[in-house]
Amino acid sequence: MSLTPDPTFYPSPGMAMKAAPERIAYVAMLNAVKNGKHDAMGVIDVDPHSTTYGQLVDQVDFQRNDNELHHFGWNACSACLCPQNPHPHMERRYLIVPGIGSSRIYILDTKAGRNRLEIVKVIEPEEFIKNTGYTSPHTIHCGPDGIYGSALGSASGDGPGGIFLMDANTFELKGAWEKDRGPQILAYDFWWHLGHDTMITSEWGTPNMVKDGINPELLLAGKYGHKLHIWDLDKRIHLQELDLGAEQQMVLELRPAHDPNKTFGFAGVVVSLKDLSASIWMWYRENGGKNGKWAVRKVIEIPAEPADPEKLPPLLKGFKAVPPFVTDINLSLDDRFLYVSCWGTGEFIQYDVSDPANPKKAGSIHLGGIVRRAPHPKKPTEALNGGPQMVEISRDGKRVYFTNSLYSPWDEQIYPDGIRSWMVKVDANPEGGIKLDEKFFVEFDGLRAHQVRLEGGDASSDSYCYSDAP
């Protein structure tokens, strides 16, 4: 064990932004068409000076193809430097990779060799369910006292879903996190404000509500998630419920401010039943301080686009419009730019959120989309399907990567011609504005790319305990 902190751990987001650029990216790849290939974790060369730039340079195949790999994360990160539970001699080495389809978790060693990955442990579904009471693990975050994960449901595939804990050294499952969940039943994402001992969680649906695709009856009845939940992170108890309204369906990705002194963050809502728009909501603490109540307000609305019904999938023909379907968001480490993936329209949007209550659109590109099928500059005659989806930002905020697959059953409904998967890179101007890197266009043969993580950390895999503010 090293006697000095892992060099990829940083006390503050500002210090992380000064780190050397990433050279490789890790990408979860899943087999959605049962073509004999296995699910895998890929290694992408993202070093523009390399002869293999923009190529898949290695992958490790898993034993199965039923995992539906989703939001994997690190065993340890900058949260190890937090004063309430410091353990700076941990190492950012292992990727914790959950499968919401199989309830299986893979532990991958990233230091088996240069650009190589090795499976060092597999937690089978029986063990996961027995030790947590949950099923369908979905999102992994490294916390100040271990590994945290979210799960969509109970052992039966119904509610409640919630948070589970894992030892960061042995990967032993330590059970459910909640001591008092209050009214919370549905689960999806979670994040925290470490400086305020607060966790935020969001809602999607139980495994039985989502595994066969979007259920129109549940959707139109407003039964998918439409709330945020506020928790005491230290005591593990539910404090407050913030209801966005049943017409706001599927409150998914959460991105809190990286500055630990700030008490705001952004939540993405997939679709409004009122007009098929999508939206971004800001949560915040009223009156500041550590004792104020939390509140939420809509700060961005993205309208649906009129479309020829003949160009729409069966689920949408009657609406004669393309919903934006905001399925992922991400926030730069300086808390200045918010990136929004519109998986339906194919638009990828950059907002200046220097004033978080009043975002301003700063840049936009199109790629794929249900109707638009916008091509990439590297292959200008090739119509693309899928759309901007899982998005990751480099620590310095200058490079943004995204992939185009959401979730297999939902992929088939929205893009019934079968998603052909790709990954792209966007160059971001520090003062605002974005442009596609015309040389970076990765295609995945027979597999679908989902979550992206960057070597040494990225904008959505670390949390910090120290502010850069004077």
Domains of the chain and CATH, by start: 13-454 (2.130.10.10)
Indicate if the pLDDT at residue 204 is higher than 90: yes
Q: Are 343 and 360 in contact (CB under 8 A)?
A: no
* pLDDT tens, residue by residue, 406-463: 999 999 999 999 999 999 999 999 999 999 999 999 999 889 999 999 999 999 999 9
CA atoms within 13 A on the CB side of 177: 26
Amino acid 244: pLDDT: 98
Q: Are 460 and 37 in contact (CB under 8 A)?
A: no
C-alpha distance from residue 141 to each of 192, 207, 350, 359 (Å): 10, 20, 24, 27
Q: What region does 441 belong to: left with phi over 0, alpha with psi -120 to 50, or beta?
A: beta
Amino acid 89: pLDDT: 83
| pLDDT tier, 288 (very low <50, low <70, confident <90, very high otherwise) | low
pLDDT (mean) for 9-18 = 96
pLDDT (mean) for 266-286 = 97
Indicate if the pLDDT at residue 273 is higher than 90: yes
* pLDDT tens, residue by residue, 85-102: 788 789 999 999 999 999
Average per-residue pLDDT for the chain: 95
| pLDDT tier, 3 (very low <50, low <70, confident <90, very high otherwise) | low
Indicate if the pLDDT at residue 104 is higher than 50: yes
* pLDDT tens, residue by residue, 293-316: 999 999 999 999 999 999 999 999
Q: Residue 411: what are its φ and ψ, rounded to 5°?
A: -55, -45
Indicate if the pLDDT at residue 151 is higher than 60: yes
Q: Are 334 and 345 in contact (CB under 8 A)?
A: no
Choose among 190, 175, 203: nearest CA to 143.
Answer: 190
Q: Is the bond preceding 160 in cis, omega lying within 30 degrees of 0?
A: yes
Write out the chain in H/E/C secondary structure: CCCCCCCCCCCCHHHHHCCCCCCEEEEEEECCCCCCCCCEEEEEECCCCCCCCCCEEEEEECCCCCCCECECEECCCHHHHCCCCCCCCCCCCEEEEEECCCCEEEEEEEEEECCEEEEEEEECHHHHHHHHCEEEEEEEEEECCEEEEEEEEECCCCCCCEEEEECCCCCCEEEECCCECCCCCCCCCEEEEHHHCEEEECECCCHHHHCCCCCHHHHHCCCCCCEEEEEECCCCEEEEEEECCCCEEEEEEEEECCCCCCCEEEEEEEEECCCCCEEEEEEEECCCCCCCCEEEEEEEEECCEECCHHHCCCCCHHHCEECCCEEEEEECCCCCEEEEEECCCCEEEEEECCCCCCCEEEEEEECECCCCCECECCECCCCCCCCCCCEEECCCCCEEEEECCCCHHHHHHHCCCCCCCEEEEEEECCCCCEEEEEEEEEECCCCEEEEEEECCCCCCCCCCCCCCCC
Share of the chain above pLDDT 70, in %: 98
| pLDDT tier, 83 (very low <50, low <70, confident <90, very high otherwise) | confident
* pLDDT tens, residue by residue, 50-67: 999 999 999 999 988 889
Indicate if the pLDDT at residue 253 is higher than 50: yes
Residue with tokens 């650009």: 115
Q: Which residues pair with 44 in a beta bridge?
A: 25, 56
Taken as a whole, the chain contains a residue count of: 470
Amino acid 1: pLDDT: 46
Share of the chain above pLDDT 90, in %: 90
C-alpha distance from residue 426 to each of 24, 76, 345 (Å): 15, 27, 18
Choose among 399, 328, 384, 340: nearest CA to 364.
Answer: 340
Query: Is the full-model pTM beyond 0.85?
Result: yes
Amino acid 114: pLDDT: 66
Q: What region does 182 belong to: left with phi over 0, alpha with psi -120 to 50, or beta?
A: left
